[in-house]
Amino acid sequence: MSLRLGDIAPNFQAKTSLGDIDFYEFLGDSWGILFSHPADYTPVCTTELGKTAALKGEFDKRGVKVLALSVDGVESHKSWIGDINETQNVSVEFPIIADDDRKVSLLYDFIHPNASATATVRSLVIIAPDKTVKLIITYPASTGRNFVEVLRVVDSLQLTANYSVATPANWVEGEDVIVVPAIKTEDAIAKFPKGVKVVKPYLRYTPQPNKD
C-alpha cells in the first residue's frame, strides 16, 4: 500500500527485541515514530539507533514513543543492540521490530523495489495520537537521518495541532511563528495577545503562543 499524509496508520502485531506488541496498544494516546533501517549490523544504522537512544529524554519530554524496524530477526536485533550500546555509548531501550516476513514493511511501504527488492529504505513516519500520519520522510540507504530535525518537526506538529499557526523555514522551538492565512488580521490581533507583525497581508508573524 502507499501511505500518505492524513491516512490512518495501519495497526499490526509484531515480534520485537522487547517481546510481542500490538502497535496501537504500544502507542496508546501518545505520539509515535516508526522508522525502518535496511539491515542489522550496518554502520549507518548503528549510528542512527545510537542517536535515537541518546535522545530518549527529548522524545519522552514530548510524549513520543519510538519504534524501529528491520527485516532481520529478534536474536539478531538483541545481539546487535549490544554493539550499538558499546560503540555509541548509549542504552537502546525502545523496541526493534523483527520484520522477517516483511509484513510491516509492505504495510507501511518501506520496501522500494528499484532501490532494493529485499531491504527496507530509511523511512520514518510520525503518527499523531489519533493515529493519523503527520510526516513521512524517506532517505536512501547511504544517508543517515538527522534525528534533531525529527525532534524539530515533532515540536512543529505538536504546536500547530493546538494553535492556528504554521512554522517558517528553519524554525526552532521558541522562535516566532506564522499566523495561518485562514485567520483575518483583525481576528489574529485579538487571538494572539503577544502581538502580530504584518509583513504582507498573507505573511504575519506572532511569538510562539505556548511560550511565556
Q: Residues with catalytic annotation?
A: 45
CA torsion angle for 78, 120, 58, 15 (degrees, to 10)? -40
In the chain, the amino acid numbered 80 is W
C-alpha–C-alpha distance, residues 175 and 64, integer Å = 22
Measured distance CA(151)–CA(183) in Å, rounded: 27
What is the distance between the terminal CA atoms of the chain, rounded to a whole angstrom?
44
- Are the CB atoms for 35 and 126 separated by under 8 Å? no
According to DSSP, the residues that pair with 124 across neighbouring strands are: 35, 137
Q: What's the full length of the chain, in residues?
A: 212
C-alpha pair distances (Å), 84 with each of 40, 53, 64, 136, 142: 10, 9, 21, 25, 18
- Cell, residue 90: 548509549
